[in-house]
Amino acid sequence: MSDCLDFPLTVWLIFIITFTFYAAVFVFLQNGVQFVHQRYNMSEKNSSFMMSLPFTVSALACPVFGALGNKFSKVSRY
């Protein structure tokens, strides 16, 4: 645990940026369905679908891009 204090400033900045980004994203996700429903006058079902699209695309695209990265990278497999 004491090794954490030896991290360089850039690592701490990455931690802070990641924390603040996800804090904002999770707050929006909690209220996103109601926001889209009210703001754009969509049904709750369509609002839920719209809010789930980034996760669905990520779940489908990550393995594809991972396989492409493995295929074209110069790093050896372990």
Res 32: pLDDT: 92
Res 77: pLDDT: 64
Residues 6+ apart with CB under 8 A from 42: 36, 50
Which 8-state DSSP code applies to residue 5?
Answer: G
How confident is the model over 31-66, as pLDDT tens digits? 999 999 999 999 999 999 999 998 899 999 999 999
Exposed e or buried b per residue across 22-50, where buried means at least 16 C-beta atoms within 10 angstroms of its C-beta: eeeeeeeeeebbeebbeeeeeeeeebeee
| pTM of the predicted protein model | 0.62
